[in-house]
């Protein structure tokens, strides 16, 4: 679906609501192209939201084929890439095969979370809420954070995280859990790259001193009672925040 630049931010917000696990965005002439892999139900929701969208049938094995588009990204010293690419010498390599889980590392929200991790002193314990492929947990472990616990409500994400942690030779305790409704482990730091709606529900359950949040747009700011904003990063219309628990 093509959207003119002036409407891009609004359209991204709607796409995020409709497809919280992710959608694709490609810059075009005077606008952006937004695309989601979905079924007939999703196509109908797109039509209802935008009053029009073009669709093409993709092969049954698209979830495997899209791997050809999995390209490495660099965030400071951290290189995030697929198993079939060679990390440059001296880089802190995070090798990710996301399988069917979200998180190749290339999404701006994931990159922004890594950027904020890089501003913090390593050594702190970390809980990754909504770990997807495990990309943030593994990057954190590579940077010297630990122990690292990775939680996701999707069993395929937990499976992908376990496999990716083993591939990278790092220790990550990956478990299936609902970050909003299940009791969460205490940690110095938590990262939550989810949606604004989910992030905002974390204030009571999150048991951490600092919290990195993302999964929402630059125009949005999470309201998390008990936490104060410390730093914000933005890229391609997306934002990530570092928050600290208020004392006293
Ligand atoms: C946008 S992906 C982020 C993946 C990865 N952390 C990254 O930064 O690339 C969000 C993840 O949150 C998970 N998720 C959604 N709701 C959740 C919940 N209530 N509890 C735990 N995980 C959840 C999804 O399954 C998905 O893997």
Compute mean pLDDT per 10 residues along the chain, 248 residues long, and list them: 75 77 69 73 69 64 58 94 93 88 85 98 97 97 98 95 97 98 97 96 93 96 96 96 92
193 Cα to the center of ligand 1, angstroms? 7
Using CA atoms, how far apart are residues 240 and 217, in angstroms rounded to an integer?
Answer: 9
In this structure, are 136 and 187 located in the same domain? yes
For ligand 1, atom 9, the nearest C-alpha belongs to 103
CATH at 73: 3.40.50.150
- 127 shares its domain with 23: no
- Rounded Cα–Cα distance for residues 141 and 152 (Å): 17
- The whole domain housing 194 covers 64-245
Q: How confident is the model at residue 57, as a pLDDT?
A: 66
Both 203 and 86 in a single domain?
Answer: yes
State the distance from the centre of ligand 1 to the C-alpha of 108, rounded, in angstroms. 15
Residue nearest to atom 25 of ligand 1 (CA): 154
Q: Does one domain contain both 191 and 233? A: yes
Domain end marker among 20, 42, 57: 57
Distance between CA atoms of residues 222 and 177, nearest Å: 22
What's the number of domains the chain is made of? 2
Q: In this predicted structure, what is the pLDDT of residue 39?
A: 67
For 189-226, give one letter per residue: b (16+ CB within 10 A) or e.
bbbbbbbbebbbbbbeebebbbbbbbbbbeebebebee
Is residue 136 within 8 Å of 101, Cβ to Cβ? no
141 and 208 in a common domain: yes
241/147 same-domain check: yes
- Cis, peptide link before residue 147, omega less than 30° from 0: yes
Kindly state whether residues 91 and 213 are assigned to the same domain: yes
Distance, in Å, from the CA atom of 221 to the CA atom of 241, rounded to the nearest integer, reads: 8
Candidate of 132, 172, 182, 199 to mutate for ligand 1, largest count of ligand atoms within 8 Å of Cβ = 132
Q: What is the pLDDT of residue 143?
A: 98
Q: What is the DSSP letter of 107?
A: S
Residue 124 and residue 214 in one domain: yes
What does the alpha-carbon distance between residue 157 and residue 128 come to, in Å, rounded to a whole number? Answer: 12
The pTM is what? 0.79
152 in the same domain as 49: no
Ligand 1 centroid from CA 160, angstroms? 12
Give the pLDDT of residue 66: 53
The β-bridge relationship of strands 78-81 and 92-95 is parallel
What CA–CA distance (Å, rounded) separates 88 from 235? 24
pLDDT at residue number 62: 52
Query: For residue 63, what pLDDT is reported?
Result: 54
Long-range contacts (CB closer than 8 Å, 24 or more residues apart) made by 44-51 = 45/18, 46/1, 46/18, 49/14, 49/18, 50/1, 50/11, 50/14
Q: Are residues 155 and 213 in the same domain?
A: yes
Look at residues 57, 75, 101 and tell me which one is the last residue of a structural domain. Answer: 57
70 and 50 co-located in one domain: no
- 90 shares a domain with 181: yes
């Amino acid at each position: 679906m093509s959207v003119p630049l002036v409407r891009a931010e609004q359209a991204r917000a709607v796409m995020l609501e409709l497809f919280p696990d992710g959608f694709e965005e490609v810059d075009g002439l005077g606008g952006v192209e937004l695309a989601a892999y979905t079924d007939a139900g999703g196509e109908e929701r797109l039509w209802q939201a935008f009053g029009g969208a073009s669709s093409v049938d993709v092969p049954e094995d698209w979830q495997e084929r899209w791997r050809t588009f999995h390209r490495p990204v660099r965030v400071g010293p951290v290189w995030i890439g697929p198993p079939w690419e060679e990390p440059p010498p001296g880089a802190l390599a995070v090798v990710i095969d996301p399988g069917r889980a979200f998180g190749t590392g290339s999404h701006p929200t994931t990159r922004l979370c890594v950027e904020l991790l890089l501003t913090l002193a390593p050594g702190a314990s970390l809980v990754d809420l909504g770990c997807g492929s495990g990309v943030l947990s593994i990057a954190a472990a590579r940077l010297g954070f630990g122990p690292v616990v990775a939680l996701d409500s999707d069993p395929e994400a937990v499976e992908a995280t376990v496999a990716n942690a083993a591939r990278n030779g790092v220790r990550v305790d990956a478990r299936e859990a609902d970050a909003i409704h299940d009791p969460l482990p205490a940690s110095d730091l938590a990262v939550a790259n989810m949606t604004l709606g989910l992030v905002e529900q974390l204030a009571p359950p999150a048991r951490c001193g600092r919290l990195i949040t993302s999964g929402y747009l630059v125009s949005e700011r999470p309201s998390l009672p008990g936490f104060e904003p410390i730093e914000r990063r933005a890229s391609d219309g997306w934002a990530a925040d570092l928050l600290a628990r208020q004392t006293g």
